[in-house]
Chain A
Amino acid sequence: MAKKVGIVGAAITPFKGRWYQKTYYELAQMATREAVADAAISIKDVDSVFYGIYNDIFERACIPEHPLQGILGMQNKFGIRISTGGATGAYTLSAAHAYLAGERFKTALVMGVEKATDCFDFKSMSATPEVIKTIAWSGDTFFEQNIGWTASDSYAEVVLGYMDEYPGTLKPEITAQISALLSQQARTNPYAQRQFDQVTPEEVMNSRYIVYPFKELEICVYSEGAAALILAEEETAKAIAKNSGKPIIWITGLGEANEHSFAGKNQKDMSHIVSDYLGSRRAYEMAGIKDPTKAVQLVELHDAFIHQLEISMAEFGLVPYQTVDSLIEDGLILPGGKYLVNPCGGLSYCGHAVGASNIMSAWSARNELIKRKLKTALIHGTGSTISQYTACAILENE
């Protein structure tokens, strides 16, 4: 029988468009220092470290985690890096859970960090074209990189595929309202990159096209920052919680799926995010959730794109595919609605420091479960080309 595993400490650094003041060494240590302080333990009490770092080129180093082993005080202990595109953070959480549940270790540090916007295009004198170029090295090396593949256009393919399948959904006024809602939710998150950037639905609809059908204010921002969790197996978690006085948030379900990266017969169905469907169902099954619409109260969803947030909610079984806009039209995610989605502002407004993002989501979910006395949250990470990868986790308040 696998051991129960819980979160006993968590912290993030502020997410920023650029951290001129800190390298990824310091960002990683900042989050780690705060996480062990939150758990009221010493770093010496942590047996293992799981690094979530997405892109070597961002950090300008292969094996970017190797200096962190010493900087984080983890020398001579187990350390492994996970890199699964946008889903890096959620997969890192999943990997750490497996090692603790399998009794390899009693405690683990799950630390994600990314320093993305040092990348700079000297031709246009701006960072963004170089940042998206750096991400674009993630496209298929033989068949797609040379024809302008980007993360945005590959997700847009799936979104347009969904709109082909379910015409009349993902209406511009709905995605605009969701973006505006997330901007309001970020207002109370002091770590959010866009804490004071509250936008109106009109502003979202008036913002420029980046990649059709995505407008600028319907896309997450690139961020720099770090996030860390302290995980522990059941007995150790209880001892830590007793000392810290903070409740344990149990990780009761995990589910992952990686789809085919090419489309067509027996390959990727471009009108769905099957990885989200399978990842969430596997997590529900492990957590013993029969009806997610009754169990899930809080969702920290990887909103790389607002349209994709809507599709992911449908793939999770929380809203029907054909009436996905009821998220707003029926008030499902509006204040006081059935689901609390991305109270931190999500990746759109808190920020997307890729390796750290889903760990930030877990940090936020833990805070909200405790603060609002909620029972169950779903954490989600999506990544790779055409939303190929998904990792989901169910968190439960004891």
Chain B
Amino acid sequence: MPEKRQKLIPDEFIPEIRSRVITLDNQDYLLQNDTMYTFYERSMGELSPFFLAIKNEKKILGCKCSKCGIVRVPPMMTHCPDCEFAPTGLVEVSQVGKMNTTPPITYFATSLFLDKAPFGRGRVILEGADTALSVMLYTTTGILVPGLIKKGTEVKIIFRDERVGQISDIYCVPTSELTPEQVTKKGLQESELNWAKPKEPQFPKPTDNDTANFKQCLKEMQALAVKMSQSKRARKAIEGWRRNITVRTKAGEFAIYINNGDFRIEEKKLSSPDFIMACEDPKTLLDGLMYKGAITDSVIMKRLWISKNLEFNTIFKLDRLARFLVMEQKEKTAK
């Protein structure tokens, strides 16, 4: 689960004051590191009871129209626009509800949410409400995959242990992953859930065929890596990025080195890799690098295991590396 941030802008997001020059068609162009920031002490105004109820009482409030009786969650208005602005009043609603539609799953997030992906975000109609509350969605079983949460799936609001009075203080998980007591409990907190821990897969002993396959795949990947390092376009996919990765397969282990445009693969054991990938058949990775299926999808579909979810970002870069090499080859042919 994501951790709370201590600063509004974490230090790692803040670049140094610096500039660089890029040369295109023999002309120099200046690029300057820059930012545009504003701090706020935000007034939560009429929404204060809703956020305070989440923070202090672990309750979800809606607003009920005094005329038509519609209950809106979140309670975003004090008067009902459907009833000539009749006043609304706050009411508490259930913490269990059903998904209004099948929710999307974000695998490639914004820079602020890279460490939270993959996550679902969808709309739940809580019991007692008529409108849908936008919520983040997780599964306690590992990576959220398509089909796990759909339209009509019953979900439960989970409260983070540390709450600051924001909508991100809550998220939902399917009730099918909870005990009956947890489903009925009001104000269920994330520390009360049984979260699956990432566990590196163990592979059976390799056969001679597996070993031969490993050698062949490794050879092909190494040849591809040379091409990628020589491709101007492919290098851009991993520009400024540095990672040493251990890849474990059924028949052997090797290392991937990403170093600011350079891409190298060696049959070597790393003592302290940035992260570990594990796949039974190295062809899973080879296919991805050959642009025959996304490596991202291999992770999502559990054909490839990674030791840190945050390294989805590196996986995306490997997919781009494969795509950019193919694009460069196509453009050369087309032109």
In the bound complex, do residue A208 and residue B104 qualify as a contact, i.e. CB atoms below 8 Å apart? Answer: no
10 A-B pairs closest in CB distance: A264-B131, A125-B240, A208-B294, A156-B104, A208-B296, A133-B110, A129-B111, A161-B101, A122-B15, A121-B111
**Could you tell me the distance between the alpha carbons of A152 and B123 in the complex, rounded to whole angstroms?**
15
Contacting residues of chain A (48-99) with chain B, CB-CB under 8 angstroms: 57, 60
**Could you tell me the distance between the alpha carbons of A266 and B33 in the complex, rounded to whole angstroms?**
46
**Could you tell me the distance between the alpha carbons of A215 and B316 in the complex, rounded to whole angstroms?**
12
**Could you tell me the distance between the alpha carbons of A136 and B105 in the complex, rounded to whole angstroms?**
16
Residues on the A chain within 8 Å of B132, using CB: 262-264, 267, 270
Across the interface, A129 reaches (CB within 8 A) one of B15, B114, B146, namely B114
Residues on the B chain within 8 Å of A160, using CB: 101-104, 151
**Could you tell me the distance between the alpha carbons of A208 and B121 in the complex, rounded to whole angstroms?**
19
Chain A nearest CB: distance from B70 CB in Å? 6
Give the nearest-CB partner of B113 in chain A.
A148
Known A-B contacts A146-B167, A150-B110; the reply to A197 vs B76 at CB < 8 A is no
**Could you tell me the distance between the alpha carbons of A80 and B133 in the complex, rounded to whole angstroms?**
36
Footprint of B on A, CB under 8 Å?
Answer: 20-21, 57, 60, 121-126, 128-130, 132-133, 136, 140, 142-144, 146-150, 152-153, 156-157, 160-161, 163-164, 187, 196-198, 203, 206-216, 262-267, 270-271
Residues on the A chain within 8 Å of B316, using CB: 208
In the bound complex, do residue A157 and residue B123 qualify as a contact, i.e. CB atoms below 8 Å apart? Answer: yes
**Could you tell me the distance between the alpha carbons of A214 and B316 in the complex, rounded to whole angstroms?**
15
Indicate with 1 or 0, residue by residue over B130-167, a CB within 8 angstroms of chain A CB atoms: 11111110000000001000110000000000000011
Q: List, sorted by A's number, 26 A–B pairs whose CB atoms are closer than 8 Å.
A: A20-B29, A60-B36, A122-B15, A123-B12, A126-B240, A129-B109, A136-B110, A143-B76, A143-B167, A146-B166, A147-B135, A148-B116, A148-B119, A149-B134, A150-B110, A157-B121, A163-B102, A164-B101, A196-B330, A196-B331, A208-B108, A209-B296, A212-B105, A262-B72, A264-B129, A270-B101
- B174 beta carbon closer than 8 Å to chain A: no
Known A-B contacts A160-B103, A196-B331, A196-B335; the reply to A153 vs B70 at CB < 8 A is no
Residues on the A chain within 8 Å of B203, using CB: none
**Could you tell me the distance between the alpha carbons of A142 and B49 in the complex, rounded to whole angstroms?**
13
In the bound complex, do residue B100 and residue A212 qualify as a contact, i.e. CB atoms below 8 Å apart? Answer: no
**Could you tell me the distance between the alpha carbons of A156 and B103 in the complex, rounded to whole angstroms?**
8
Across the interface, A208 reaches (CB within 8 A) one of B123, B130, B297, namely B297
**Could you tell me the distance between the alpha carbons of A142 and B167 in the complex, rounded to whole angstroms?**
7
In the bound complex, do residue B112 and residue A20 qualify as a contact, i.e. CB atoms below 8 Å apart? Answer: no
In the bound complex, do residue B130 and residue A264 qualify as a contact, i.e. CB atoms below 8 Å apart? Answer: yes
**Could you tell me the distance between the alpha carbons of A125 and B242 in the complex, rounded to whole angstroms?**
10
Known A-B contacts A161-B102, A265-B130; the reply to A209 vs B76 at CB < 8 A is no
In the bound complex, do residue B134 and residue A147 qualify as a contact, i.e. CB atoms below 8 Å apart? Answer: yes
In the bound complex, do residue A20 and residue B12 qualify as a contact, i.e. CB atoms below 8 Å apart? Answer: no
Indicate with 1 or 0, residue by residue over B171-199, a CB within 8 angstroms of chain A CB atoms: 10000000000000000000000000000
**Could you tell me the distance between the alpha carbons of A215 and B293 in the complex, rounded to whole angstroms?**
11
In the bound complex, do residue B167 and residue A211 qualify as a contact, i.e. CB atoms below 8 Å apart? Answer: no
Give the nearest-CB partner of A56 in chain B.
B36
In the bound complex, do residue B104 and residue A157 qualify as a contact, i.e. CB atoms below 8 Å apart? Answer: yes
In the bound complex, do residue B12 and residue A209 qualify as a contact, i.e. CB atoms below 8 Å apart? Answer: no
**Could you tell me the distance between the alpha carbons of A207 and B103 in the complex, rounded to whole angstroms?**
21
In the bound complex, do residue B104 and residue A212 qualify as a contact, i.e. CB atoms below 8 Å apart? Answer: yes
**Could you tell me the distance between the alpha carbons of A57 and B317 in the complex, rounded to whole angstroms?**
26
In the bound complex, do residue A21 and residue B334 qualify as a contact, i.e. CB atoms below 8 Å apart? Answer: no
In the bound complex, do residue B319 and residue A208 qualify as a contact, i.e. CB atoms below 8 Å apart? Answer: yes
Chain B nearest CB: distance from A123 CB in Å? 6
In the bound complex, do residue A20 and residue B109 qualify as a contact, i.e. CB atoms below 8 Å apart? Answer: no
Residues on the B chain within 8 Å of A60, using CB: 34, 36
- B313 beta carbon closer than 8 Å to chain A: yes
**Could you tell me the distance between the alpha carbons of A212 and B119 in the complex, rounded to whole angstroms?**
10
Chain B nearest CB: distance from A333 CB in Å? 23
Across the interface, A206 reaches (CB within 8 A) one of B102, B111, B293, namely B293
**Could you tell me the distance between the alpha carbons of A57 and B123 in the complex, rounded to whole angstroms?**
28
- B300 beta carbon closer than 8 Å to chain A: yes
